[in-house]
Amino acid sequence: MRRASSVSLGTAALLLPLTLTACGTERSGTPDARPAHGKATVDRADLAARARAIETTTDMIYVIKAPGFEAARQSVGVHGDDGFSSAYVSKSGGIITLTVDRGTLNETNCPTASLQGAVEGKVMCERDGDSWYRTAAGAQGHEYALAKDGRVVRLGSDAKTVNRDTLRAAARSVHLGDERELDALLPPLRERGGSGPTERGDLPPVGDGAPDNRPPNAGG
């Protein structure tokens, strides 16, 4: 079942540091190195299955190259109905949150999209190359957003820990993940458990479905 996102990018950015601290920060490895799981080649079908396991598709998974930042694998997941989200962290505590959704971005709808801490209708959009730099008075967050092949990719961060130059450079590096990058980023299927419901051995095949907790061979 697809999950509809009810949490804004700003709220997610606030919660993310707590999540990464609680779970530890597992780095995804260097995407330019050999495949992360020791395989000489990468199976596209396996990558597609791993993407489906987090309720998205490989054509929604965009990545960045930001010096000093690495993707945190535990942050990887679906965004909205079938989009994608991940976070890149630095040793100094900076976090860049990447989200991908289907849609378009232009001067008309750019000011209406949510931004961390912004008052409705007060988001300011500044054209910067192929991207939009988005800020708001009083907001602690800032972001770069850009349109890519029918998707909108957003890179958000706390302005106090990640400055505009760093965020701009990350935005200019945005690209669709290749096989090696997907393999390094996507959790292996074995880490996610089974895809179906767990079978209950104590449920009788007939009747009202109440668990049967009697010892084996016990009388009725």
- pLDDT band at 190; cut points 50, 70, 90: confident
- Given a cut of 90, is residue 45 above it in pLDDT? yes
Distance separating the N- and C-terminal Cα atoms of the chain:
40
What type of residue is 195? Answer: S
User: Distances in Å between the alpha carbon of 118 and those of 8, 12, 132, 215?
Assistant: 12, 14, 16, 61
Tell me which DSSP letter residue 219 carries.
-
Average pLDDT over residues 189-205: 50
Measure the CA–CA gap between 187 and 139, rounded to whole angstroms: 33
- Given a cut of 70, is residue 68 above it in pLDDT? yes
- pLDDT band at 79; cut points 50, 70, 90: very high
The mean pLDDT value of the chain amounts to 79
> E strands along 45-114, which residues?
62-63, 69-71, 84-90, 95-102
Express each pLDDT in 94-140 by its tens digit.
999 999 999 999 999 999 888 877 776 689 999 999 999 999 988 88
Name which residue leads in pLDDT, 149 or 119.
149
What type of residue is 49? Answer: A
The secondary structure of the chain in percent helix, strand, coil, rounded to multiples of 5, reads: 25, 25, 50
Strands 123-128 and 131-136, bridge-based pairing: antiparallel
Average pLDDT over residues 190-196: 51
Measure the CA–CA gap between 173 and 137, rounded to whole angstroms: 27
- Given a cut of 70, is residue 210 above it in pLDDT? no
User: Distances in Å between the alpha carbon of 217 and those of 212, 213, 214?
Assistant: 12, 11, 8
Average pLDDT over residues 49-75: 96
Which H or E run includes 197?
none
| Residues 77-95 as b or e (16 or more Cβ within 10 Å = b) | ebbbebbbbbbbbbeeebb
Express each pLDDT in 28-44 by its tens digit.
544 444 454 445 578 99
* Structure confidence at residue 26 (pLDDT): 57
Express each pLDDT in 10-20 by its tens digit.
444 444 444 45
Q: Which of 121-125, 128-132, 141-145, 171-175 has the lowest mean pLDDT?
A: 121-125
- What residues contact 16, with CB distance under 8 A and at least 6 apart? 75, 87, 95, 97
